[in-house]
Amino acid sequence: MEIYMITQNTVQVVLKLWVLGRIPIYNSIICALDVTDNSYQIKVVSAQIGRIPLPIILHNVVIARIAPLFAGNQEIEYLRQNAGKVEIIENQLSITMKAIVTSHKITSQNRK
Protein backbone atom coordinates (compact mmCIF):
# COMPACT_ATOMS: atom_id res chain seq x y z
CA MET A 1 0.00 0.00 0.00
CA GLU A 2 1.19 3.50 -0.85
CA ILE A 3 -0.12 6.81 0.49
CA TYR A 4 0.44 10.12 -1.31
CA MET A 5 -0.32 13.63 -0.09
CA ILE A 6 -1.95 15.36 -3.08
CA THR A 7 -2.73 18.61 -1.29
CA GLN A 8 -2.57 19.66 2.34
CA ASN A 9 -5.97 18.08 3.02
CA THR A 10 -6.17 15.40 0.32
CA VAL A 11 -4.52 11.98 0.24
CA GLN A 12 -4.45 9.15 -2.26
CA VAL A 13 -4.25 5.55 -1.04
CA VAL A 14 -3.11 3.01 -3.65
CA LEU A 15 -3.38 -0.72 -3.11
CA LYS A 16 -1.53 -2.96 -5.54
CA LEU A 17 -2.71 -6.55 -5.90
CA TRP A 18 -1.18 -9.30 -8.00
CA VAL A 19 -3.32 -11.58 -10.16
CA LEU A 20 -1.73 -14.93 -11.03
CA GLY A 21 1.38 -13.68 -9.29
CA ARG A 22 2.42 -11.41 -12.17
CA ILE A 23 -0.38 -9.07 -13.32
CA PRO A 24 -0.68 -5.93 -11.16
CA ILE A 25 -4.12 -4.50 -10.47
CA TYR A 26 -4.40 -1.13 -8.74
CA ASN A 27 -7.17 0.14 -6.48
CA SER A 28 -7.00 3.83 -5.67
CA ILE A 29 -9.02 5.97 -3.27
CA ILE A 30 -8.73 9.73 -2.96
CA CYS A 31 -9.84 11.12 0.40
CA ALA A 32 -10.34 14.60 1.77
CA LEU A 33 -9.23 15.04 5.38
CA ASP A 34 -11.04 17.31 7.80
CA VAL A 35 -9.01 17.68 10.98
CA THR A 36 -10.20 19.59 14.04
CA ASP A 37 -8.78 19.81 17.57
CA ASN A 38 -10.72 16.80 18.84
CA SER A 39 -11.39 14.67 15.78
CA TYR A 40 -10.83 14.00 12.13
CA GLN A 41 -13.09 12.92 9.29
CA ILE A 42 -12.18 11.16 6.07
CA LYS A 43 -14.43 11.71 3.06
CA VAL A 44 -13.93 9.55 -0.04
CA VAL A 45 -13.77 11.90 -3.02
CA SER A 46 -13.18 9.31 -5.75
CA ALA A 47 -12.19 5.70 -6.30
CA GLN A 48 -10.70 3.60 -9.07
CA ILE A 49 -11.10 -0.11 -8.70
CA GLY A 50 -9.28 -2.68 -10.80
CA ARG A 51 -7.08 -0.42 -12.93
CA ILE A 52 -4.66 -2.56 -14.93
CA PRO A 53 -1.60 -1.02 -16.59
CA LEU A 54 -1.52 -1.81 -20.28
CA PRO A 55 1.72 -2.25 -22.25
CA ILE A 56 1.92 0.11 -25.23
CA ILE A 57 2.21 -2.78 -27.69
CA LEU A 58 -1.29 -3.95 -26.67
CA HIS A 59 -3.09 -0.58 -27.03
CA ASN A 60 -4.28 -1.14 -30.61
CA VAL A 61 -5.35 -4.73 -29.87
CA VAL A 62 -7.45 -3.66 -26.87
CA ILE A 63 -8.94 -0.68 -28.70
CA ALA A 64 -9.90 -2.91 -31.63
CA ARG A 65 -11.72 -5.29 -29.29
CA ILE A 66 -13.39 -2.68 -27.06
CA ALA A 67 -14.43 -0.14 -29.73
CA PRO A 68 -17.20 -2.39 -31.15
CA LEU A 69 -18.79 -2.51 -27.70
CA PHE A 70 -19.49 1.22 -27.98
CA ALA A 71 -20.36 1.29 -31.67
CA GLY A 72 -23.95 2.31 -32.19
CA ASN A 73 -24.37 3.59 -28.61
CA GLN A 74 -26.23 6.90 -29.03
CA GLU A 75 -25.07 8.39 -25.72
CA ILE A 76 -21.40 7.67 -26.42
CA GLU A 77 -21.74 9.00 -29.98
CA TYR A 78 -23.41 12.19 -28.67
CA LEU A 79 -20.55 12.74 -26.21
CA ARG A 80 -17.94 12.05 -28.88
CA GLN A 81 -19.46 14.57 -31.28
CA ASN A 82 -20.26 17.30 -28.75
CA ALA A 83 -17.38 17.19 -26.26
CA GLY A 84 -15.46 20.42 -26.59
CA LYS A 85 -12.73 19.85 -24.04
CA VAL A 86 -11.76 16.92 -21.83
CA GLU A 87 -9.43 17.49 -18.87
CA ILE A 88 -8.22 15.60 -15.84
CA ILE A 89 -7.78 18.03 -12.95
CA GLU A 90 -6.72 16.71 -9.55
CA ASN A 91 -7.80 13.18 -10.56
CA GLN A 92 -11.25 14.42 -11.62
CA LEU A 93 -12.53 14.03 -15.17
CA SER A 94 -14.06 17.21 -16.57
CA ILE A 95 -15.93 17.25 -19.90
CA THR A 96 -16.92 20.62 -21.35
CA MET A 97 -19.58 20.30 -24.00
CA LYS A 98 -19.68 22.43 -27.16
CA ALA A 99 -22.45 25.00 -27.36
CA ILE A 100 -25.36 23.59 -29.31
CA VAL A 101 -26.98 26.28 -31.42
CA THR A 102 -30.29 25.66 -33.10
CA SER A 103 -32.18 27.99 -35.36
CA HIS A 104 -35.78 28.25 -36.37
CA LYS A 105 -36.72 29.98 -39.58
CA ILE A 106 -39.75 32.20 -39.21
CA THR A 107 -41.96 32.36 -42.26
CA SER A 108 -45.26 34.04 -42.88
CA GLN A 109 -46.94 30.68 -42.34
CA ASN A 110 -45.54 30.47 -38.76
CA ARG A 111 -46.75 33.98 -37.79
CA LYS A 112 -50.40 33.78 -36.77
Q: In terms of C-beta density within 10 A (0-12 exposed, 13-18 middle, 19 or more buried), how is residue 45 classed?
A: middle
pLDDT for residue 101? 62
Same-domain pairing of 46 and 60: no
Same-domain pairing of 2 and 13: yes
Same-domain pairing of 39 and 63: no
Same-domain pairing of 59 and 38: no
Residue 1 pLDDT exceeds 80: yes
Domain total of the chain: 2
Residue 6's domain comprises 1-53
Q: Structure pTM?
A: 0.44
> How many residues does the structure list for the chain?
112
Higher pLDDT, 7 or 49: 7
Same-domain pairing of 49 and 59: no
pLDDT digits (tens, 9 = 90+) for 49-106: 776 777 788 878 877 877 777 777 787 777 777 777 777 666 666 777 777 666 556 6
pLDDT for residue 16? 86
Show which of 53, 72, 95 is a domain's final residue: 53
Same-domain pairing of 28 and 61: no
